[in-house]
Structure 1
Amino acid sequence: VIVVLGIILVWLANIFEIVTLASRAFAVYYLAQAFVALQLTTQITSYKQRLGYQTLYGSIAVLLIAVVIFAIPVG
């Protein structure tokens, strides 16, 4: 069933739109991972180390949000 739906999707939609949709889906998944990582940084006792990790994971989250919002098909 999934294969048939995939074939129909490829025939009916622009391939670049499909790639854009898949990229957004991956970005949402990794955004969730970045939020989990941000939440786990609260367990780090060293302030300097915690701040570094929060900056890193926060920056990654911001970039992924931009991908989700601004991703457009090439064609």
Structure 2
Amino acid sequence: MRYVIEYFDGEDVRGVLVEQTVLEEVMDEISHCEEEQGCVVLDVTPEEVWRDRKVAHPVGGLNPRYLPVDQLMS
């Protein structure tokens, strides 16, 4: 299973798509960023749920913080 982690990096909202096997590792990296740059985790969502929300609320819609899939890093 893959997850979308959405976070604020101190300047912008970012999204990363990660495998469950590295989820904890990526969350640790973002936690380190919190201490240094003020990063804040906004949401951790299973990929299917995120995609369903994305369809229901496209960018500019009710949830404009969701990033286009092509902006997701893997």
Q: What's the TM-score once normalised by structure 1's chain length?
A: 0.28
More strand by share: 2
- Please tell me whether Structure 1 or Structure 2 has the larger radius of gyration of its CA atoms: 1
If asked which structure has higher relative contact order (CA below 8 Å, sep 6+), I would say 1
More helix by share: 1
Q: What's the TM-score once normalised by structure 2's chain length?
A: 0.28
